[in-house]
Amino acid sequence: MNSRLLLLFALLVAVLLPLSLFTVPGLYLEPTNTQRYAVAHESTVAFDSTVVQTDLEASDTTPITELSPSTQQAFADAKASGDARSGWAAVEITVCHELAVVCNGYDEAPAFPEDATGNADEWPADTYGIVDDDGDRYVVETHRSGSLGFGFLVVYPLVLVSFTLYGLYLAVVALRYRNANPLKVLGSAGDGLIFLVWPSIVAAVGVADPLLFVVLPLTLLPIAAIVVSIGITILKKWV
């Protein structure tokens, strides 16, 4: 086994492990926090009271057909969640961050008319608008919230530390054992390569769960290093 090529391969994997997290940070971005939309038909008390409290102009309506597909979908989901003719019918949806690689929610946030604002002391304040759906008017309440999420704020730093430490471990193993124990170097580099491509495999499958990206690197990388060491020791005794 060519020790120079083995060294280059191991060092390449060692460097790419932490660098991969900077090239595709979107793997660790959760969808934004759940956003809530509520609709009330013009025949309800909720419609009348909202128009009065927010100073909405009841005649200023926007046809639902003129809004974006995601907005129309959110409106339909809200109507389907309850009886909008008896009061508020609400739906909570997940809108994915624009940098997220994997998204199991809405690709873009619905954009309902925002002709009035609720309590100005709250941030972000609820907004209100009136849409027209086949001649029926509905007041729409939009409640927004959003963040980078647990994945980016907690998982990403932990995985970065894990990948960096394993990269350093791999570099030391490659420099010390490329001639004396090339199988150990090859096994350790192989483990690193698996975890290097793992997030891409998960993303391709479409699993939007950042825990998959932290449990495996933080738990299995140290175990993999131990297994490789034990396996090489046993192999050397039998060969």
Q: What share of the chain is helix, strand, coil (3-state, %, to 5)?
A: 55, 15, 30
Answer yes or no: do 61 and 97 share one domain: yes
Q: How large is the average pLDDT for residues 32-38?
A: 76
The 10 Å CB-count burial string (b at 16+, else e) for 168-182 is ebbbebbeebbeebb
Answer yes or no: do 63 and 114 share one domain: yes
Query: For residue 92, what are the β-bridge partners?
Result: 36
Domain boundary among 143, 158, 186: 143
Q: What is the pLDDT of residues 180-235, one digit of tens each?
A: 888 888 888 888 887 777 766 666 665 555 555 555 555 555 566 666 566 655 65
Answer yes or no: do 54 and 98 share one domain: yes
CA 43 to chain centre: 39
For 110-132, give the secondary structure using H, E and C: CCCCCCEECCCCCCCCCEEEEEE
Answer yes or no: do 138 and 157 share one domain: no
Distance in angstroms (rounded) separating the CA atoms of residues 176 and 106: 50
| Residues in contact with 70: Cβ distance below 8 Å, sequence separation at least 6, in sequence order | 106, 107, 108, 109, 110, 111
Answer yes or no: do 138 and 187 share one domain: no
Answer yes or no: do 228 and 182 share one domain: yes
| pLDDT at residue 72 in the model | 93
Domain boundary among 120, 143, 166: 143
Domain extent for 39: 35-143
- Between 74 and 94, the more confident residue is 74
CA angle 61, 65, 66 (to 5 degrees): 70
Answer yes or no: do 134 and 45 share one domain: yes
Look at the alpha carbons of 63, 69, 71, 75 in this order and tell me if their dihedral is positive or negative: positive
Q: What is the pLDDT of residues 112-145, one digit of tens each?
A: 998 888 765 555 678 899 999 999 999 999 887 6
Give the Å distances, CA to CA, from 161 to 127, 166, 169, 214, 229. 42, 9, 12, 11, 22
Give the three-class secondary structure for 138.
strand
Domain boundary among 143, 164, 184: 143
Answer yes or no: do 116 and 170 share one domain: no
Answer yes or no: do 10 and 44 share one domain: no
Instruction: Classify residue 8 by its DSSP letter.
Output: H
Number of domains in the chain: 2
Mean of per-residue pLDDT scores for the chain? 77
